[in-house]
Structure 1
Amino acid sequence: MKLGDGVEAAIHCAATLASVDGNSTMPGAALAECFGLSPSYLLKHLNQLTAARILESVPGPAGGYRLARAAELITLLDIVLAVEGREPAFRCGEIRQRGPVKIDASAYVKPCGINAAMLKAERAYRAALAEVKLSDIVAEYAAEGDPRSYAASCAFVERHQRPQKPASSKQT
């Protein structure tokens, strides 16, 4: 099974946004620059993450993206499903019931063993991704990543994040 390149980009962007201060945002163009990606390519994946309520998109000249919920509440499975969709990676087409060796449909009362095995593997894979929180990835990088890489990432976020003004309270 091969996941699309968008999954890697989405996870890296979400991890980067986990480092943004408070309710600040980071522009999509800065995220694309950070990872050497085409802004139009990345925008597609940022939109998928926004639609899945993993990211929040803030409009306007000082807008950008930020996490829609705490990094502790976002799993790698959430991100993978947002980008790749909820369908299983393996889709059984019941090809055993086609071709010159097919027999009457009544011979196929038991589920396809190949499909059952592949769906079992899919469940295990998804369970493993559901156990890993975005906050775990960020904490591990901070603790075990090369200090130069970590410092450069923090400096990039600091330069490109956009502080948001607090919502003004209307007085009546």
Structure 2
Amino acid sequence: MRMSEGVEWAVHVCLLLDWLETDRPVSTTRLAASYDLPPPYLNKQLQALVRAGIATSTPGARGGFALARPLDQITLMDVVTAIEGPDEAFQCTEIRRRGMGAGSSGPETEIPCAVSIAMHRAELAWRRALAAQTLADVRKQAERVSPRLGERIRAWHARN
């Protein structure tokens, strides 16, 4: 499964918004500068997070983005769905009914094929794994590796 870089950006920005510990919205420009990202493309990801109810948007010169709910209420699956959409990754096109299978009939063509069943089973496991992990879990893991990460992020933003 290949996801767009927008998923990575969105997860990092959600974590960043939490680490900043501010009651004010943070502008796209400031969020983009945090990771040296192009603001227009990041803004598309932020708008997708707003549509999904993960973030809020405040218009105007002092506007920007904030989290709509705590990290422990946002799963990785929520972010993936917000950015990539809800469609399943595997789309069976029933190629078994073409070529050598054209014109075939019988029970083997009336039930889902083994390839489709296997792919859907794997995708379900992947989706369940993402749904089982919150952004709070990801934050804890990041802070285990780098205990002063939040401090460093807030200090960088205070200077820039």
Q: TM-score, normalised by structure 2?
A: 0.90
SS in 1 for 2:56: strand
Aligned-residue offset at 1:81:
0.5
Q: Distance in 1 between matches of 2:15 and 2:59?
A: 21
For 1:13-162, list aligned pairs within 5 A. Answer: 13-106=13-106, 107-145=108-146, 147=148, 150-158=150-158
Residue correspondences, number: 159
- Specify every segment of 5 or more residues in structure 2 that has no aligned partner in the other structure, as ranges: none
Q: Deviations over 1:40-88 (max 9, x none)?
A: 1111111111100100001121111000011110000000000011111
List gaps (5 residues or longer) in structure 1: 161-172
Residues 2-40 of structure 1, C-alpha deviation per residue, up to 9 Å, x if partnerless? 111111001101111112325322111111111111111
Tell me if the contact between 2:25 and 2:65 (Cα under 8 Å) persists in the aligned partners. yes
Deviation at 1:150, TM superposition (A): 4.8
Which region of structure 1 is more displaced relative to structure 2, 71-80 or 151-160? 151-160
More helix per residue: 1 or 2?
2
Contact 2:10 2:46 in 1 (8 A): yes
The answer (yes or no) to whether the contact 1:20–1:26 under 8 Å persists in 2 is no
The farther-off stretch of 99-108 and 25-34 is: 99-108
CA contact (8 A) 1:25 1:65 kept: yes
Provide the rounded CA distance (Å) in 2 between the counterparts of 1:72 and 1:100.
Answer: 51
Q: Secondary structure at the match of 1:18?
A: helix
Alpha-carbon offset, residue 122 of structure 1: 0.7
Q: Report the more deviating stretch, 18-27 or 58-67.
A: 18-27
Tell me which of the two structures has the higher relative contact order, counting C-alpha pairs closer than 8 angstroms and 6 or more residues apart.
1
Shift of 1:159: 5.4
The root-mean-square deviation of aligned C-alpha atoms, in Å, is 1.8
Quick one: structure 1 residues 105 and 85, their matched pair in 2 at CA, closer, same or farther if it must change by over 3 Å?
farther
Instruction: State the AA in 1 paired with 2:110.
Output: V
TM-score by length of 1: 0.84
Partner Cα distance (1:152, 1:44) in 2: 27
The alpha-carbon distance between structure 1 residues 20 and 146, as it changes in their structure 2 partners (threshold 3 A), is closer
Aligned counterparts of 1:156 and 1:51: Cα–Cα separation in 2: 29
